[in-house]
C-alpha cells in the first residue's frame, strides 16, 4: 500500500503532467461508480481478499471482481496473487494526481468565498435598524 500524501503538498499551482490525462480518465471513471468508491473505502487501511470484499455486496463474486479490475486498471487497487487467492490493497497515488487536477479549480471557489465574506462584512457593518428596515421591505415585496 502506498503511503498517503500529506494534503499540504497539494498546491493551487501544481498541475499534473500532460501524459496524466489517460490516467485521470481511468481514475475518474473508476470513482464514478458508488460500489467502486465503497470498495476503496473498505480497503482504506486494510488488505482484503476478493472474497472478503464480495461478501459485503448482494452481487456475484464475478461482478465484484469486474469492479475490482476497473480499480486495478486505474491504479487505485493493487492485487497480490497467491494461486487462486487474490489480496487487494489501496494505492492512493492516482488519487493524488486527481486531487492535483481538481485543486486547479479551487481558485474559483476561493473567489466565491471571498465575495461571500465581503457581503457578510457589509451586512455586519450596517446599523441594526437599517438591516431590519431592509428585511421588512423584502417581506413586503414577497407578499
Secondary structure in 3-state letters for the chain: CCCCCCHHHCCCCCCCCHHHHHHHHHHHHHHCCHHHHHHHHHHCCCCEEHHHHHCCCCCCHHHHHHHHHHHHHCCCEEEEEECCEEEEEECCHHHHHHHHHHHCCHHHHHHHHHHHHHHHHHHHHCCHHHHHHHHHHHHHHHC
| Same domain for 79 and 53 | yes
Does some domain include residue 9?
Answer: no
Query: Residue with C-alpha cell 499540504?
Result: 8
pTM, two decimals, is 0.65
Share of the chain above pLDDT 70, in %: 80
pLDDT 10s digits, 100-139: 888 888 877 788 888 888 888 888 887 766 666 767 677 7
Domain total for the chain?
2
| Same domain for 63 and 130 | no
Does some domain include residue 127?
Answer: yes
| Same domain for 90 and 52 | yes
| Same domain for 91 and 23 | yes
Write down the pLDDT at residue 112.
83
Amino acid at each position: 500500500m502506498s503511503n498517503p500524501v500529506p494534503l499540504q503538498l497539494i498546491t493551487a499551482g501544481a498541475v499534473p503532467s500532460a501524459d496524466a490525462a489517460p490516467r485521470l480518465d481511468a481514475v475518474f471513471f473508476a470513482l464514478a461508480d458508488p460500489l467502486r468508491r465503497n470498495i476503496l473505502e473498505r480497503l482504506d487501511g486494510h488488505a482484503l481478499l476478493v472474497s472478503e470484499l464480495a461478501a459485503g455486496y448482494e452481487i456475484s463474486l464475478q461482478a465484484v471482481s469486474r469492479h475490482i479490475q476497473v480499480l486495478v486498471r486505474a491504479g487505485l487497487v493493487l492485487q497480490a496473487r497467491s494461486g487462486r487467492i487474490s489480496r487487494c490493497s489501496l494505492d492512493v497515488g492516482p488519487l493524488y494526481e486527481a486531487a492535483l487536477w481538481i485543486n486547479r479549480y479551487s481558485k474559483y471557489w476561493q473567489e466565491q468565498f471571498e465575495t461571500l465574506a465581503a457581503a457578510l462584512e457589509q451586512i455586519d457593518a450596517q446599523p441594526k435598524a437599517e438591516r431590519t428596515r431592509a428585511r421588512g421591505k423584502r417581506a413586503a415585496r414577497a407578499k
